[in-house]
Structure formats: C-alpha cells, structure tokens
Amino acid sequence: MAPRAALLLAALALPLLLAAAAPASSDPGPAAVTGVFQVRRKFPPGGGGNIAALRAHDGRRHGRLLAAADVPLGGLGLPTDTGLYYTEIKLGTPPRTYYVQVDTGSDILWVNCISCDRCPRKSGLGLDLTLYDPKASSTGSEVSCDQGFCAATYGGKLPGCSANVPCEYKVVYGDGSSTTGFFITDTLQFDQVTGDGQTQPGNGSVTFGCGAQQGGDLGTSNQALDGIIGFGQANTSMLSQLAAAGKVKKIFSHCLDTIKGGGIFAIGNVVQPKVKTTPLIADMPHYNVNLKSIDVGGTALQLPADVFKTGEKKGTIIDSGTTLTYLPELIFKEVMLAVFKKHQDITFHDVQSFLCFQYSGSVDDGFPTITFHFEDDLALHVYPHEYFFANGNDMYCVGFQNGGSQSKDGKDIVLMGDLVLSNKLVVYDLENQVIGWTDYNCSSSIKVKDDKTGAVHTVNSHDISSSSSSGWRFQWHKSLVLLLVTVVCSYLIC
C-alpha cells in the first residue's frame, strides 16, 4: 500500500502518479419564434485513438478561453466518442447553409466571407463549406462604422469613422488563431416550432461577422467549419440580438446524453424539470460561479479557503464545450487520493498520457460520488461513470486533469467540462444572472413556457443518424436540437 505522502507527490505529474500508485513489486504494464438547429459532433466517433486528439483540442480551447474566449457549446462528454458539436444554420435570401461551431465563450456569429483570404474550401469532416456572399443575398446589408451596432460594440464611435466605412471586427485567440472581417446584417433562417414536434419556416434579422481573413487553426481544413455562433453574454451575440428584438427569452439550456446519445438544447424558460440555481459572478467574461467546497463519498476535502477564490485567471468556469474537467494541482491531488483511497492495489497504465486502469466490476459500485458545492446550496453530483470513461475491455481512464500541467495561465482555474455536465439539464438564465442544473434523463423531454402567452410545450431529445463521404465515415447518432422559444404571441415557440 503506497503511503499518503507518496501519493500526494505522485499526483503532481502523471508519470510519478503511475509509479507511486502501483505496488512496488508490480509491473506497471504496457501502455494500453422559434427555431430548430440540428447540432452535430465536430469529431468522428472512435476508440482510444481519439482521446489524445481531444485533449489537445481541449488545450487549444482552454488557451482561447483564457485569452479572448472561444468555448464551443455542446458535446457528448465521452473522449472516446467525442462531444464537440456544430450546428447547421441558413443565412441570406435565398437562404444558403452554413456549418458553425456552437460556442458559449464568444459573443458574435461569424462565417467565412467570399473575399476571405486563407479560408478553407474543404473540410476534413466531410462537409461542403460555403463562403457567404453579401451581394448574393437580397436581404443582406453592410454595417457601417457610424451605425448603432458598431458604436455599441466598441463603446462609442470609432476614430476616423465616416459614412459608408465598414464596421470591422477582429478576434485573436490565445492559441494564436484569429478571424478578421466586417459586420453584415442579414436574415437568419430556422425551423419555427409551432407545437409538439411541429415546425414551420421562420426567420429573424441578425448582425454577424463576414470573415475576410482567418489565421491559425481557423485557416486550416482538417476540421474546418464555416464559422462560429457565439452564445456569450454580450449584446452582440445572436441570443442577445433576438432577445432585444423581443423574440426570445435570454435563457438557454442544454442536456447532453451520454447514455443513449443525443440531447436537448433550448432557448426559453424551462418549467419542467425545476432547476435550482447559483449566481453568476458579475463582470466576468465567461460563466463564472462560486465553488465553495468538494466532498468525495460524503467526506469533505480539507482544502485551503482561498483555493476557490475568484479573480483574474482564478475561480470556477462552467464550460460545456471542453470535454474534460481541469482542476488546480492541489485540488486534483486531493480528489485523486480520495477517489482511489480504497483501491491502493490498482495498477495504473499510461494510455496516451491518461491515467487508466483495469477494473472488471461496476465503477459506480466500486468508487465514490464526487460532489461540488456552490453558492446558494447548489450541488453538482459527479458519479464514477461520469468522471471515468471506458476505453476498451474493462479499461477505465480518469476524466479529471491536473490543470497545473495543462496550462500555465489556467493552473488556478476549475474548468468544468462535458464529462461532469453530461446527463444533467443545465440552465443559463442570463436575465436573472444565474445558472443551475439538475440530474436528468437527457433522452427524455423538457417543458418550455412562453411567458407572454402562458403556453407550455414539450421539447424532446433528438438523435440524428447520417453519414459523410470524403474518406471519413461518421455515425451522427448523437446530436442536439436547439430550439428558440419566443415571448411574442404571434411567434409561439416551444
């Protein structure tokens, strides 16, 4: 049995953890309104070969989050079957289809423009990419720098601005990628929900970026998409624009199903199930909350009071786009010690730098539940099948990561990703500045209310199957549906 001191030191780095956790005589073993948008996975499903690539993707997204924000919303929280999602939208008149990544961290919708330099024309995902052409849409119009949207975006009139000068944008992310272009106002097309399982064509006017130049990852074709749709809190987001127009509530929710696949993503006031909430921290660019304590198997971890303190590059962020969950080094060590307290005889294996082990029984029966406690007595229960993920026959890997070894800037941040958010209905109520969740069967349905009319309708989970060409075969059997819920009587959304 390894002594506690050895395990504490071992948790500082994976190689040391592997050595300290294994019995001394053991061989460590071989490396083993109203609208509907169908949201699909960005990465194809597969076996253990995907997990390193997904963590690398997490790393890039983590860097973007800390710098300027680019956190994709959605996902199936299993590294071996991936959970990063994109959605299909239609812009312009006549409408054309664009595939955009759903993103809780950024605040604008942008797509690659016809004049774009270094914009991919093909995608390794097997998708047909489309460049937006403002002149090809009868409803499209360029936003000038002296218009209200531009002034509001930049906090006032830009220096040197004059009539007919385009309102430009530029976003530079922490991983070095960037997008530059100008703003356009045009029609966003979607399927308007008119009843349970019934839709009809609907649309709304939105202002979005027309990307003229992309750099870094955004300029490569391996996993290229047409753009990004931001669900951040700023007034420039699609959600904020539709809410300002009185078409939707500034509330959205998601339920990611790792049991049967699929899930729900809805905009509007969820009335069933009831969800308890915790305040969002004011004046923060992301979905920051106050984490108060952690217990493992009902026993509180003894952690310094300031370890959860919120500040610049500190605190806790709810990030449904990151696949894994990242914990500051001290928290990571204590959690790992408590989780494996009754399993000192387990032999660990390094599988693409993940901490993995053989276990023939039920992990839910053999390992403790981890509970994160937040302000206003909101708890997040994370069960063993949610913080471990299966990777082959009786092989399980740990979904928690030591944030100190993943990102210098993020070493003091608790970043809670898909693995711990899956199988829960998570509600982002931006009107009341709270976020909440409850354990839920994400393959079932929720009820959403139109506050103006009082009508309540059922939103079901969705599960879409299709395939693609271009050398990769996909089974899109796990997907989300995004439904916009209006507050306007004439545009009933459910």
Q: Model confidence over 335-359: pLDDT tens digits?
A: 999 999 999 999 999 888 889 999 9
More confident: 109 or 193: 109
Longest Cα–Cα distance of the chain, Å, equals 77
Q: What pLDDT, on a 0 to 100 scale, did the predictor assign at position 100?
A: 86
Q: Model confidence over 78-91: pLDDT tens digits?
A: 333 333 457 778 99
CB 226 within 8 A of CB 99: yes
Q: What pLDDT, on a 0 to 100 scale, did the predictor assign at position 459?
A: 81
In this predicted structure, the answer to whether residue 363 has a pLDDT above a threshold of 80 is yes
Helices H, strands E: what count in the chain?
10, 31
Strands 354-358 and 348-351: antiparallel
pTM: 0.77
Q: What pLDDT, on a 0 to 100 scale, did the predictor assign at position 69?
A: 21
More confident: 411 or 96: 96
**What does the DSSP assignment read for 53-79?**
HHHHHHHHHHHHHHHT---B----S-T
Q: Which of 314, 359, 320 is CA-nearest to residue 340?
A: 359
Q: Which of 127, 128, 122, 168 is CA-nearest to residue 144?
A: 168
**Rounded alpha-carbon distances, angstroms, from residue 401 to 166, 326, 371:** 44, 5, 17
CB 238 within 8 A of CB 230: yes
Q: What pLDDT, on a 0 to 100 scale, did the predictor assign at position 32?
A: 28
Q: What pLDDT, on a 0 to 100 scale, did the predictor assign at position 10?
A: 37
What are residue 15's phi and psi, to 5 degrees?
-60, -40
CB 232 within 8 A of CB 105: yes
Q: Is the peptide bond before 94 cis (omega within 30 degrees of 0)?
A: yes
Q: What pLDDT, on a 0 to 100 scale, did the predictor assign at position 275?
A: 96
Q: Model confidence over 440-455: pLDDT tens digits?
A: 998 898 888 877 677 8
Instruction: Pick from 5-9, 374-378, 388-392 the range whose average pLDDT is largest.
Output: 374-378
Q: Model confidence over 134-171: pLDDT tens digits?
A: 999 999 999 999 999 998 888 888 888 888 899 998 88
Hey, is 311 helix, strand or coil?
A: strand
The catalytic residue positions are 103, 319
Bridge partners (DSSP) of residue 171 are 179
Q: What pLDDT, on a 0 to 100 scale, did the predictor assign at position 262?
A: 64
Q: What pLDDT, on a 0 to 100 scale, did the predictor assign at position 437?
A: 97
Q: Model confidence over 460-481: pLDDT tens digits?
A: 776 432 333 322 222 222 233 3
Average pLDDT of the chain? 75
CA gap 287, 289 in Å, rounded: 7
pLDDT band at 304 (very low <50, low <70, confident <90, very high): very high
Least confident among 25-29, 57-61, 117-121: 25-29
